[in-house]
Amino acid sequence: MRVKVLGSAAGGGFPQWNCACANCRRMRNGSVRSRPRTQTQLAIAANPEYALRTYWSLINASPDLRSQIAATPELAPFANTDSSSPVRDIYLISADVDSLMGLLHLREFQAFNIYSAPAIKRILSEENSMFRVLGRARPPVQWFSLPFASQVNWKEKLDPAEAPLFIARAVSLGGEYPDYVGEKLRRELPETEAVVGLAFEYQGKHAFVAPTLRGLDSEWKKWVESSDLVLLDGTFWTDDELIRTGRSKKTAREIGHLPLSGPGGLFEQYPRTAKARKILIHINNTNPILDEDSPEHRATLEAGWEIAYDGMEIAL
Ligand SMILES: [Zn+2]
């Protein structure tokens, strides 16, 4: 399994166009050691059935997707064909604008598959008619329901040569639907489908991806403990980060993100026995870990975490 990080920031990117927090300000004037980041987007290559061509699955369809694809040579159309793209499957984790707005960048009469919870399809098809442009492709874009896993249930680890299938499961992480979803539809949608993590399996290797993690129950820890790679919610360092930086009146937890530090934060809750390579993604522009000279950045690395950046590649 090859994973490419095409974007590693939370909504708004880094720097964010309308933000003058210390990080964004210092990024603009070049006084911070850091990197600009686009909004969270992953691509995974895992397709044994096509030996001659590598097809890619996208996780998220970020608002930056057009430029992210353009910056990634592996995602360019195959040579010697008219319009054949290596982008074949797209996995959506929620109906957040930051998770799916990029579908509109893919509207150029291209057939592909979307995998999501049924609720996400309903939100886009019943209330957001602009997404019907995806139906113009011939054949049209196909939409599939992600299978939900109620508990950790990887297939038995097999000899990699005998277990070639790429399998994706959704893990319900609880949460809320975005504000833009109408009241009536919102009442009909199950809470379990609002935000999911994705558990991927390929040739005996397991990856768990949860860029938005509320951490309200402990099921996620079991997925982490049985994975070889985890990409988890690195949005905020502290619970009151948006309040202190004047960006919002809400805490990290109130908008669905477990903060990294503090009592009950991700670092404290992360299972001690887990052996996975652990990477933080979906990093908000206010987060002090973006400053590579900050004590928070150092503490994160010392705790064994990696901090995702645009262009990062992971081989599993
Ligand atoms: Zn900022």
In the reported structure, the alpha carbon of residue 20 is separated from the centroid of ligand 1 by a whole-number distance in angstroms of 5
State the pLDDT at residue 259. 98
Checking if the pLDDT of 294 tops 70, the result is yes
In the reported structure, the alpha carbon of residue 6 is separated from the centroid of ligand 1 by a whole-number distance in angstroms of 20
> Minimum mean pLDDT among 68-82, 99-113, 160-174: which range?
160-174
State the pLDDT at residue 156. 53
User: Looking at residues 231-235, what average pLDDT do you find?
Assistant: 98
State the pLDDT at residue 190. 96
SS (HEC) of the chain: CEEEEEECECCCCECCCCCCCHHHHHHHCCCCCCCCECECEEEEECCCCCCCCCCEEEECCCCCHHHHHHCCHHHCCCCCCCCCCCEEEEECCECCHHHHHHHHHHCCCCCCEEEECHHHHHHHHHHCHHHHHHHHCCCCCEEEECCECCCCCCCCCCCHHHCCCCEEEEEECCCCCCCCCCHHHHHHCCHHHCEEEEEEEECCEEEEEECCCCCCCCHHHHHHHCCCEEEEECCCCCCCHHHHCCCCCCCCHHHCCCCCCCCCCHHHHCCCCCCCEEEEECECCCCHHHCCCCHHHHHHHHCCCEECCCCCEEEC
In the reported structure, the alpha carbon of residue 41 is separated from the centroid of ligand 1 by a whole-number distance in angstroms of 19
Checking if the pLDDT of 49 tops 70, the result is no
In the reported structure, the alpha carbon of residue 245 is separated from the centroid of ligand 1 by a whole-number distance in angstroms of 8
**Which pLDDT band holds residue 155 (cuts at 50, 70, 90)?**
low
In the reported structure, the alpha carbon of residue 254 is separated from the centroid of ligand 1 by a whole-number distance in angstroms of 19
State the pLDDT at residue 79. 82
- Greater model confidence, 146 or 152: 146
State the pLDDT at residue 166. 84
User: Looking at residues 151-163, what average pLDDT do you find?
Assistant: 60
State the pLDDT at residue 82. 65
pTM (two decimals): 0.94
- Mean pLDDT, all residues of the chain: 92
Checking if the pLDDT of 68 tops 80, the result is yes
- Greater model confidence, 231 or 137: 231
What tens digit of pLDDT does each residue of 262-280 get?
A: 999 999 999 999 999 999 9
In the reported structure, the alpha carbon of residue 286 is separated from the centroid of ligand 1 by a whole-number distance in angstroms of 5
**Which pLDDT band holds residue 150 (cuts at 50, 70, 90)?**
confident
Checking if the pLDDT of 58 tops 90, the result is yes
In the reported structure, the alpha carbon of residue 70 is separated from the centroid of ligand 1 by a whole-number distance in angstroms of 25
What tens digit of pLDDT does each residue of 164-223 get?
A: 578 899 999 988 999 999 999 999 999 999 999 999 998 889 999 999 999 988 999 999
